[in-house]
Structure 1
Amino acid sequence: MTAAPALYDVAVVHVRTAPLRHTLRHRTYMWLIDADRPPELPFLLRPWARFDPRDHFTGLAPSVRAGLDAFLAEHGVDLAGGRVLMLAHARVLGYVFNPLTLYWCHGPDGALRCVVAEVHNTYGERHSYLLHPDGAGRATTGKEFYVSPFFPVDGRYRMRLPAPGDRVDLTVQLEREGGRPFTATVRGTRHEARARTLLRLAVRRPWSTLAVAAAIRWHGVRLYLRGLPVQPRPASRRCPENHR
């Protein structure tokens, strides 16, 4: 099983093919951690990497793992203490935005039991999908959550989510009637989670989580100015402590 914690220097690409063609690219870095054992950083580095249970699931659990276990229990899944690997952005200087957090959930025998994909939008809302990937990491699920203001809540996601190793290589495609109008990929290389590595990445990608949120909003403005209509947003699913 993949060792954790680790850092991944990644390129995130969003490709929209309909009704307008548009591409978003940005570089950032993400953490792979054991959900039961978040990394313990030296005091001076803690502002650059903090994992807060308020940022995941209901935001009310005492730990990220407790929030995950409560979500799984609602869906009839008990990991019996098995290991969970979590891929996410950490809070950087008090701010975090995680468009996609992934949890690879194992049983006590080490076998993969399921994957949870937790999606956040820029309205402070979040939603989690319980997935059962095949041996290649492929899974499908119906879209149940408002993410982009330019797509309604319909269609299906086709995902390829193999657990990270020396590299991370993830794909999420939105499938609607008539085609696949949106594809997102996350690809990058693994680095040991050392203080000097974190400092190097923090210098190269300053305010990394704020930059991710800003890039998504800026590209949304560009699409709106190009005439792409905004789809109505369903009732809010905002979590009480999100982004605080």
Structure 2
Amino acid sequence: MSALYEGIVTHRRFSPKPHQLKYRVFSLLLDLATLDDEAAHLRLFSRNRFNLFSFHDRDYGDGQGDPLAWARAQMRAGGLNAEGTRITLLTMPRLLGYAFNPIAVYFCYAASGPLIAILYEVNNTFGQRHSYFIPVTNNSGGLVRQSCAKKFYVSPFMDMDMHYDFTLQPPAGTLRLRIAARDSQGVVLTASFSARRKPLTSKALLHAAFAYPLLTLKVVAGIHWEALRLWCKGMRLRARPAPPAAPVSFTQDAEKTL
């Protein structure tokens, strides 16, 4: 069942210039198979049409069709059985028609119930998108730890020769996601989202609209403001390479669950 998660996003940069930030945000966890039914019962949320909050298919995947079908296609491409799978998506919705998601996370569950893969979909401020598909090979309900090589240009202050380490507590009463970006010298930056679950209702959405006014615009404004602060600290821009030829990077990670 879909839900709303309210929490805190924190970033901490360790090198070459220390820097940190903290913002209160909310995200929606949407069951992609029941999205239309839920939208029909929520006055303030719609799919593929304007509302206070909305979900538009073109904001996800290849931008050409149903995100559920697209995510299942990535599961098959990654060597997994997508038959009967349940997929939920953690994302910020459009607010008054506008949204920018630095990262959206697809949780892919087997028909029998367990979490079997995670798809991390990353957007940069240059209008580009890339995803990292990582199977969950040992899930016992604890923390999922995964890693992959960085393939996609995001921050103009970060090198490309890096790896990401993901530590994730799958959605339940609480949700936690931590991403550590590291190079050959160690961890350069960590980003985390820690949140608590609320039922997805029209009342909860109305509360979110007042508690986090113009959140999606603030996300983009915040990205540029923090970039200016880094530049003032002496950080200089890295050249932006062409995006990866393939829209999805597949990783057979030596993942473990603690």
If the length of structure 1 is used for normalisation, what is the TM-score?
0.90
1:88 is aligned, of 87, 91, 104, to 91
Which one-letter code corresponds to 1:167 in the other structure? T
Paired with 1:70 and 1:82, the residues of 2 have a C-alpha distance of 11
Instruction: Tell me by how many angstroms 1:109 deviates.
Output: 1.0
Deviations 1:180-235 (A, max 9, x none): 01000000111111111110111010111111121111101111122201001012
Aligned to 1:53: 57
Paired residue type of 2:70: G
Q: Does 1:31 align with 2:28?
A: yes
What's the CA shift string for 1:54-96, capped at 9, x where partnerless? 01111012x1102212333333333102101111111111111
Contact 1:79/1:107 (8 A) holds in 2? yes
* Structure with higher strand content: 2
Q: How far apart are the structure 2 equivalents of 1:99 and 1:25?
A: 15
Name the CA distance, whole Å, in 2 between partners of 1:44 and 1:161.
Answer: 30
Q: Distance in 1 between matches of 2:112 and 2:213?
A: 40
The aligned counterpart of 2:121 is 118
8 Å Cα contact 1:79/1:106 also seen in 2: no
SS at match of 2:208: helix
1:97 matched to 2:100: yes
After superposition, residues 143-182 of structure 1 pair within 5 angstroms as: 143-182=150-189
Q: How many residues align?
A: 234
Opposite residue 203 of structure 2, the aligned amino acid is: R
Query: Partner of 1:242 in structure 2?
Result: none
- Is the 2:44–2:206 contact (alpha carbons within 8 Å) kept by the matching residues of 1? no
Q: Share of identical aligned residues, percent?
A: 32
Match of 1:208 in 2: 215
Code of the aligned partner of 1:111? P
Give the deviation of 1:236 after TM superposition: 4.6
- Secondary structure at 2:209's aligned position in 1? helix
CA offsets 1:113-141 (integer angstroms, 9 cap, x no match) = 21111111111111110112443211011
Which residue in the other structure is 2:235 paired with? 228
RMSD: 1.7
Cα distance in 1 for partners of 2:243, 2:132 equals: 17
Residue in structure 1 matched with residue 251 of structure 2 by the alignment: none
List 4+ stretches of structure 1 deviating above 6 A: none
Question: 118-127 vs 132-141, which deviates more?
Answer: 132-141
| Distance in structure 2 (CA, Å) of the matches to 1:79 and 1:48 | 33
Q: Which amino acid aligns with 1:105?
A: C
Structure 1: runs of 5 or more not aligned: 239-244
Cα distance in 1 between the residues matched to 2:44 and 2:207: 15
Which 5+ residue runs of structure 2 have no aligned equivalent? 246-258
Contact 1:59–1:67 at 8 Å: present in 2 too? no
Displacement of 1:237 = 6.7
Query: Residues of 1 paired with 2:92 and 2:44: CA distance?
Result: 19
Q: 1:132 to 1:237 in 2, by over 3 A?
A: closer
